[in-house]
Structure 1
Amino acid sequence: MNFTREINRLTTGLLILLGIVALGATYWAVAGPDTILLRQDNPRRVQAEAQIHRGDIIDRNGTVVATSNINSDGSFTRQYLYPEMDSALGYASLRYGVGGAEAAFNTILRGDAPGQDFLTEFANGLMHRNQHGADIRLTFDLSIQQEAVKAMGTHKGSIVVLDIPTGQVLAMVSLPTYDPNTLDANWEALSQAPGKPFFNRTLQGAYQPGIALQTPLMAAALLANYPLGAPIDQATQSIKIGDVTIQCVTTPPSDVLTLQQAYAYGCPYPFAKMVKELGVETIQSGFNTFQLEHPPTLAGYVSTPLTQTTDISHFLFGTKDFTDNALGQGTITVSPLEMAVIAGAIFNDGNAPMPYSLLQIRQPDDTAWINDKTSYAPMPMLTANSARQMQTLMEAAVKNGAAQAASQAELTIGGHAALAYVGNTAQSWFIGFVSSGSNQGATIAVILEDTHDASLAAQIGGEVLAAVHTYQLTTTPLPKGGA
């Protein structure tokens, strides 16, 4: 009896052990390899990544700007074909991961996103075929991007160009940048470089707006029916904010100016006077129309600023002296993309375009492009009447004001040139638009970190807008999803 009981116990124990072994074998046969492969310290992971045929990145006009070349051992090397596209595309590195557009659309480019049918996926696994990602067609225009980089020269800063009314990002430049083809070899030096080449200034930049904030202030004036044409004595006098003395961006022909003339020449005193007269609630309402507390971004791109943007939904209330903030020399910071969207709202009769960069996807071994289905509805910011008045003011600033360097023969360009003071240095802004008629056009934001010459920012902006007109607006703009 006892012997039989012991035999039963031993049998039960052996069965349990065999069950554990079977479960373990099943786990390591099915899930275990992937678990090990996902470990950061597993060299097989790098080898497996190298076997993935990453999809091509193509500009809006069909030019391949990034591709994957196969090596003799069956692995792939990522190649970036145009250096002007570097800051927009980012990088894909076996050692350091992905950044920029490569990060935003990583699952598509790797082939992780659904799209293939079951039989294809099964056959690929059975035949041990390389994982093959899809190609993507982006909104970037190589020609415009090249012109923007050329116009920037050696300056540090950013340019972003949006198609209106679609919101498609035509160009996105952040300088200094890096060569993604040599990223692995130069990573350590790039990580410590004083110019912060990995920092995407267009999306992550948290810049002092300075006089560039006069554009939302003019919206507040229009909202309050403030007299734009009333003469203001001693309008060119400088004002002092903290330790900074702010003066007109360019010298007007007279000391007596209207508010709309002060806007054209970038003079701060008339706006300081207006801020005091209108008061905190009216100014706050004007700023709220531009959604400054909710800056736009590009889906999937890294866009967290070095210093988080202050929540300004009620930034004026309770402030002892709110003039600093209202005149752009306080705690408010903006990104170049945000300023381009504000210009877009003005040009688009009050409706701010939502920026995006993905047009289409093409699956491996397929010739058909599939439109991206994501919807990007515009955001109302201004009334059409106020927006059109702002268009007129910006066009006047290009004809006779501080933004005159942006003028291009036979083109309708509006803009605003501004300075922002950061410590003992100044940065130069230009925001503007070019029209091709019938509410079609493009907007731009330019920020130069290393010069106090706002006319240079305007000149660069004008040159790029002329290139946009040449390369993009003389043809039918691509609709959402491309052609």
Structure 2
Amino acid sequence: MNAPVRRLSLLVGALFAALLVSTTLIQYVFAADLNARGDNRRTLLATYARERGEILVGQDAVARSVPTDDEFRFQREYADGELYSHVTGFYSFYGASGGLEQAENALLSGASDKLFYRRVSDLFTGRSPQGATLETTLDPAVQQAASDGIGDNRGAAVALDPRTGAVLAMVSKPTYDPNSLAGHDLAALDETYQQLQGAENRPLVNRAIGGDLYPPGSVFKVVTAAAALSDGEYTADSVLPGGAELDLPLTDTPLPNFGNQPCSASGEVTLRQALITSCNPAFGDLGMKLGQDTLREQAAMFGFGDELSVPMRVTPSSIGADLNEPQLAQSAIGQFEDRVTPMQMAMVAAGVANDGIVMQPYLVESVIGSDLSVIESADPGELSEAVSPDVAETLTEMMVATVDEGTGRNAQIGGVQVAGKTGTAEHGEGRRAHAWFISFAPADDPQIAVAVVVEDGGESGEQTGGGAVAAPIARQMMEARLNR
């Protein structure tokens, strides 16, 4: 072979080798990154051409794919969109965003390994790939009651079945309509998305499980009371300071009671009376005597600090670290650096209701294939034993008394014994307090545990207390469940 032919052969061989290497890199090494690119129109069209699974509340689909006559073949449709927006999230050109659409995207799109055999079957039968259906644990009546109760206020509500951890309601306000983000008009969709992203009231944030979190205020006193009763040094009849304020070490600023009024005429209260009247001096003193390690450990037993998934990620709740005594007194009444989600406080109520056992919260009851076979079912599991059954019983009695004769009277339900605790959480100088309420019912056979927060006390004027604002919402939610 002469030299020119040899050189040409080498060049052709090198070109084939380069082609083989580049094809291999594209198809195997870089395939995932290329498919994930937002500007990959081919992948986008392929994704839209696949029918995503439904999201069910009861027997009704609150999210489903409907056929279209354009190149995308399907469009996501959300029934009662604003009511369930933070549960469903939305699916659009931005991909799966928020809620179950994002958290369970692999199942809904049909790409999950759990659907492997179904995909293999589709190859042989020629059926179009289809995502799995998610059956949620939500009770539509409780969800509606929570939404109606919060109304146009900012806030959130969560309801759990304390026996299983099933999420019965998850509402965050303000809300948005996911249908406005699911269309095929890119310009209109982008404009809507940018407006929602830039809105001061942050409607895309699910306040029930995330966001900036809230100071819990006096609903945290249930955790402090649990720590005291579990410590072995205290009973419901233990006597605590009950004046109008509590002198604190290391500072000239005392810890005042709500309204600067004494908790009792004698200046002393029992632990039971302290919870009924939500006495700040009593719980501040209790927190300092228990110590931060005891308080932090008790909070952890209720789930504080845990990385939870329902399957959406729940931002961990926390209390301050390295607290001095005045800070510890504030933390014991749910102030200072205490920060919680409504989900976490619903878990506190549910743990007390369930004889001290906190169940793992979950939102998906079952995963159903396109052939209606059940691929996966929820398996309720224990998260922790927060308190003993005896302590849970004592806390329940104290919380029932809080509703019967104390700050939680607005949560009373005729013929039903309700256990609850109010909260009024300060969060800045000159700002109205957040209104809180946690509860469960019936107290002797709990079927629902609830946490409600209304930011800045809602539209209630000066009545920002949890008993006036949040307790009626919780009552409506509990009634909706019990009156099924």
- String of CA shifts for 1:251-303, please: whole Å, max 9, x gaps: 79942432211211112112223334444555455445434333x63344144
CA separation of 1:197 and 1:229: change in aligned 2, threshold 3 A: same
Equivalent in the alignment of 2:265: 255
- String of CA shifts for 1:435-481, please: whole Å, max 9, x gaps: 285x551111111112123122111111111111123xxxxxxxxxx
The answer (yes or no) to whether the contact 1:350–1:383 under 8 Å persists in 2 is yes
Q: How many percent identity over aligned positions?
A: 27
Q: How does 1:266-281 map to 2 (within 5 A)?
A: 266-280=278-292
Instruction: Give the secondary-structure state (helix, strand or coil) at the position aligned to 2:75.
Output: strand
- Measured in 1, the distance between the counterparts of 2:210 and 2:170 equals 12
Equivalent in the alignment of 1:226: 234
- Measured in 1, the distance between the counterparts of 2:282 and 2:27 equals 75
The answer (yes or no) to whether the contact 1:250–1:401 under 8 Å persists in 2 is no
Tell me whether 1:400 sits opposite 2:399 in the alignment: no
The answer (yes or no) to whether the contact 1:414–1:432 under 8 Å persists in 2 is yes
- Measured in 2, the distance between the counterparts of 1:171 and 1:181 equals 21
Alignment: residue pair count:
457
Using the TM superposition, give the Cα deviation of residue 5 of structure 1 relative to its aligned residue in structure 2, in angstroms. Answer: 6.1
Equivalent in the alignment of 1:235: 243
The answer (yes or no) to whether the contact 2:284–2:330 under 8 Å persists in 1 is no
Using the TM superposition, give the Cα deviation of residue 38 of structure 1 relative to its aligned residue in structure 2, in angstroms. Answer: 3.5
- Measured in 2, the distance between the counterparts of 1:19 and 1:279 equals 71
- Measured in 2, the distance between the counterparts of 1:79 and 1:142 equals 18
The answer (yes or no) to whether the contact 2:315–2:341 under 8 Å persists in 1 is no
Q: Name the aligned partner's letter for residue 255 of structure 1.
A: A
- Measured in 2, the distance between the counterparts of 1:236 and 1:284 equals 27
- Measured in 1, the distance between the counterparts of 2:252 and 2:304 equals 23
- Measured in 2, the distance between the counterparts of 1:283 and 1:86 equals 36
Further displaced range: 324-333 or 9-18? 9-18
Equivalent in the alignment of 2:475: 462
CA separation of 1:304 and 1:217: change in aligned 2, threshold 3 A: closer
Equivalent in the alignment of 2:447: 441
Using the TM superposition, give the Cα deviation of residue 432 of structure 1 relative to its aligned residue in structure 2, in angstroms. Answer: 0.8
- Measured in 2, the distance between the counterparts of 1:390 and 1:234 equals 19
From 340, 344, 365, give the equivalent of 2:346.
Answer: 340
Equivalent in the alignment of 1:417: 422
Q: Name the aligned partner's letter for residue 388 of structure 1.
A: E
Q: How does 1:314-353 map to 2 (within 5 A)?
A: 315-316=322-323, 321-353=327-359
Instruction: Give the secondary-structure state (helix, strand or coil) at the position aligned to 2:447.
Output: strand
TM-score (norm 2): 0.85
Further displaced range: 239-248 or 323-332? 239-248
- Measured in 2, the distance between the counterparts of 1:281 and 1:116 equals 48
Equivalent in the alignment of 1:106: 105
- Structure 1 gap ranges (5+): 472-483
Using the TM superposition, give the Cα deviation of residue 415 of structure 1 relative to its aligned residue in structure 2, in angstroms. Answer: 0.4
The answer (yes or no) to whether the contact 2:157–2:170 under 8 Å persists in 1 is yes
Instruction: Give the secondary-structure state (helix, strand or coil) at the position aligned to 2:209.
Output: helix
Q: Name the aligned partner's letter for residue 460 of structure 1.
A: I
Using the TM superposition, give the Cα deviation of residue 195 of structure 1 relative to its aligned residue in structure 2, in angstroms. Answer: 1.0
- Measured in 1, the distance between the counterparts of 2:30 and 2:296 equals 58
Equivalent in the alignment of 1:141: 139
Using the TM superposition, give the Cα deviation of residue 374 of structure 1 relative to its aligned residue in structure 2, in angstroms. Answer: 5.4
Equivalent in the alignment of 1:175: 173
CA separation of 1:72 and 1:347: change in aligned 2, threshold 3 A: same
CA separation of 1:278 and 1:320: change in aligned 2, threshold 3 A: same
CA separation of 1:348 and 1:11: change in aligned 2, threshold 3 A: same
CA separation of 1:221 and 1:38: change in aligned 2, threshold 3 A: closer
Q: Name the aligned partner's letter for residue 258 of structure 2.
A: C
RMSD: 3.1
Using the TM superposition, give the Cα deviation of residue 397 of structure 1 relative to its aligned residue in structure 2, in angstroms. Answer: 0.5
